[in-house]
Amino acid sequence: MDNTKTLSKILESIKNEVSSANYRTWFSNTSIASLDQTRLTIAVPSAFIKEQLNIRYLPLIQKAVDTTLNKHLEIVFIVDASKTTTMTAAQTAEEPEEEFFQPVAVHSTPIVNPKYTLDNFVVGLSNNVAYAAAQAVVQNPGNSYNPLFIYGGTGVGKTHLMLGIGNAILAKNPYYKIIYCSSEKFTNDYVESIQNRKMGELRAKYRSADLLLVDDVQFFSGREGTQEEFFHTFNELTTKNSQLVLTSDRPPSEMQKLEDRLKSRFQGGLMVDIQTPDLDTRVAILREKCHEKGDVLPDDCLNLIAASFETNARELEGKLIGIIQILKIQNTPPSVETIKPLLGMQANATSTKITHKQVFSSVCNYFNIKQADLTGPNRKKELVLPRHIAMYILSEELKLTVEHIGQLLGGRDHTTVMHGRDRIKSLLSTDREVQRLWTELKQALAGSN
């Protein structure tokens, strides 16, 4: 049996044992790095997945491996950074962006299908220059604007546009090697490769890209080693006409603690900004998001919502989801009259509608654990993350006090709650897997109403 076959057999038996959402989250992007008489090395996309597989699924995996191969092997996980972040020829035309945007239904409720393409990117005054630049890059990657530097505030569509470029280029040329990463990811890879003395591999990986997409480069600030490495990566890529697209929350000139030579590289191509959307663009974004979700709101409702919230696309979408959710709960048809009263209150829709019991059951469902374990005294690793997440939701979404949360979770001290909540908070800003998990849980919670 070759490795691919072996893996698919192993995965087949794991698939039967876990929920499909969990399967997709933890197993879908694994591969066999090596297999010998004593040891099976499985490559996974991130350190977070590695940790979770180790603490939550090792016995299950061990069993699947032993039965499939009919012998006992040691199982080792290694992180293959190229996994989550590389759109390769293997994932060609059929589902080019699957890695990034695969909608993961935790419950059976229909959810947003977050496919980031240029087609579903709404163009308006706030972003038309950036969009035109993106198209130029797609037409002629490596030869039009290099790098394309997209900057703007949070939630205005930088990541969407950047990945739209990736998907469009991939659709035209499935053999293009495209690497997408956040600047933190690049930094982590760099640090890890120094520790493991694997600089060669790091360079081979990033410098082989035909298109390198780096998100949120403002986080390179203050990281001298990373900047140096990225500078050389940048030079090598542009020398061979590979395209770079970078996003940032501010223009290079305003990036503190960024080496001048890197600043000038960032400024050396085309810099475009995306602004908070104007009213017409907001209406159009709302229409697009309704369309994607299969919801229909009359134009006057869209106009009213867009006029009520002068905010970025991400928040706007959040408001829209909140409003639609309440209308559904109330079983009211959407109209200006029915929506008006919701405009003020929907911001906290989730928190006012959801109870701690729903939070517990969603979290337990998601992680496949018992509620008694969640609130119980056991400090096993596989219970800690779900517990921390529950703390986070109860605190941030339901706005319960840490003392109250401690009581609900089986009489825990409030400092424990604060610690758990803050851990998730910080993971949410750095760890994509946790971000994904959070999005899915939110959807599950919304669906639990």
Q: In the complex, which residues of this chain contact Mg ion (CB under 5 A)?
A: 158-159
**Minimum distance from residue 288 beta carbon to ligand ADP (Å):** 5
**Minimum distance from residue 272 beta carbon to Mg ion (Å):** 15
How is residue 103 annotated by DSSP? -
**Minimum distance from residue 383 beta carbon to ligand ADP (Å):** 32
**Cβ proximity to ligand ADP, 73 vs 284, nearer residue:** 284
What is the sign, positive or negative, of the torsion defined by CA atoms of 93, 95, 98, 100? positive
**Cβ proximity to Mg ion, 158 vs 432, nearer residue:** 158
The Cα 243–Cα 240 span in angstroms is 9
The Cα 248–Cα 231 span in angstroms is 16
**Cβ proximity to ligand ADP, 147 vs 386, nearer residue:** 147
Q: Which residue has the tokens 């009359």?
A: 298
Per the DSSP assignment, residues forming a β-bridge with 213 are 180, 245
**Minimum distance from residue 34 beta carbon to ligand ADP (Å):** 36
**Minimum distance from residue 320 beta carbon to ligand ADP (Å):** 11
The Cα 147–Cα 267 span in angstroms is 8
Query: Residue 297 binds which one of ligand ADP, Mg ion, none, with CB within 5 to 8 A depending on kind?
Result: none
**Minimum distance from residue 386 beta carbon to Mg ion (Å):** 27
Where along the sequence are the contacts to ligand ADP (CB under 6 A)?
Answer: 116, 120-122, 127, 152, 154-160, 285, 288, 313-314, 317
- Please give the residue whose beta carbon sits closest to ligand ADP in the complex: 157
The Cα 91–Cα 86 span in angstroms is 10
144, 295 contact by CB (below 8 A): no
The Cα 367–Cα 357 span in angstroms is 15
**Cβ proximity to ligand ADP, 153 vs 341, nearer residue:** 153
**Cβ proximity to ligand ADP, 121 vs 176, nearer residue:** 121
156, 126 contact by CB (below 8 A): yes
**Cβ proximity to Mg ion, 30 vs 159, nearer residue:** 159
Instruction: Write out the two tokens for 255.
Output: 């990036």
